[in-house]
Copies of this chain bind each other. A is one copy, B any other.
Amino acid sequence: MSEPSFTSSASEPARLAGIDWGTSNRRAYLMGADGQCLAAHADDQGVMAARPHFARSLDGLLTRLGVADGVPVVASGMIGSQQGWREAPYLGLDIPLEALPDHLAVVDDPAVARRCFIVPGYAQRGGEAGVDVMRGEETQLLGAVALGRRDGWIVLPGTHSKWVLLRDGVILRFATFMTGELYALLGSHGTLAPLMVAAAADDDEAFAAGVAEARRRTPLSHALFGVRARVVAGAMPAAWARGFLSGLLIGTEYVAAFDLLGEPAHAVAAVGSAALCARHARAAAAFGIDLAPIDPDRAYCAALARLQRGVTR
């Protein structure tokens, strides 16, 4: 997630506001009459901070952004979970991404004076990749489809990285990996954390060594201890620990995603921050894969233009 900041400001009146409203952060987008994004704004008023006064929090945000009273809102992400504003039940994978505008959940909150909608997520109920859920990523995926990426592999790297296989705009199957969360937990608590302090910066060579360890299919809970074992046995400099861990966790996604989703990949699109996409591009290269980054703001705006149909119908 970006640091909270205005990335641009609106010069013409907004016709629709979109909010990527996650657990810890949110990101708002204003869309003009021609379907173009006018402005974007990020802050830390995620679901945890805004709860239970979502209407008030939203009003404050839209006032700050100068959005007129009647302008409708489409929100996505954890705001549609049980802990959010209004629960939007998960869709089955048979619903195409481009049908999302027909499945928006209406927020029925007397405290809010405008029409508000929530994009539902998807649940995978079984199959090769097992039970899995997404909430928020479906909107990025709709954006990717709107930008022409209707088929093949898409990765959405992050706290819970999603690997998705699309066929003609339909999610065939997907798998989530706890990559970012494990990286954060292990970097701040437990045995590996003291090593991370010494390893301030990422290191390309260390990252590559971590990816190589993942390619050897070393079981993860053994490979994680191995970060420490290598350092104390003098087999790896402590300064490598952070980069190695990052490469190990990201590389593990590549090995496991292709196994789980049962299809080889030559090209993968990535919807994520420039920094995460750069790391992924390095991991992908080790697997002989080209990574095609898609800017997440651009994807969200493209999705918003599609979602407008569900708001105005």
Contact = CB atoms under 8 A, between A and B. Distances in A.
Contact of A131 (B123, B176, B226, B255): B226
Interface string A201-237: 0000000000000000011111011101110110110
Interface string A27-68: 000000000000000000000000000000000000000000
A69 interface: no
A40 B249 CA distance: 42
A253 B219 CA distance: 9
A237 to B, nearest CB: 13
Given A131-B230, A133-B233, 12 more contacts: A123-B233, A125-B235, A129-B222, A131-B235, A132-B226, A132-B229, A176-B226, A185-B185, A189-B189, A219-B220, A219-B256, A219-B259
A225 B177 contact: yes
A93 interface: no
Tally of this chain's copies: 2
Interface in A257-292: 259-260
Contacts of A129: 222
A109 interface: no
Given A160-B191, A185-B186, A191-B181, A256 B133 contact: no
Contacts of A182: 221, 224
Nearest to A161: B221
Q: Could you say which interface size class chain A belongs to? A: 35 or more
Nearest to A90: B233
B131 A225 contact: no
A82 B233 CA distance: 11
24 contacts: A90-B233, A129-B222, A130-B229, A132-B229, A133-B233, A160-B191, A175-B222, A176-B225, A176-B226, A177-B221, A178-B224, A181-B190, A182-B221, A185-B189, A185-B190, A189-B189, A218-B260, A219-B252, A219-B256, A220-B221, A221-B249, A221-B252, A221-B253, A222-B260
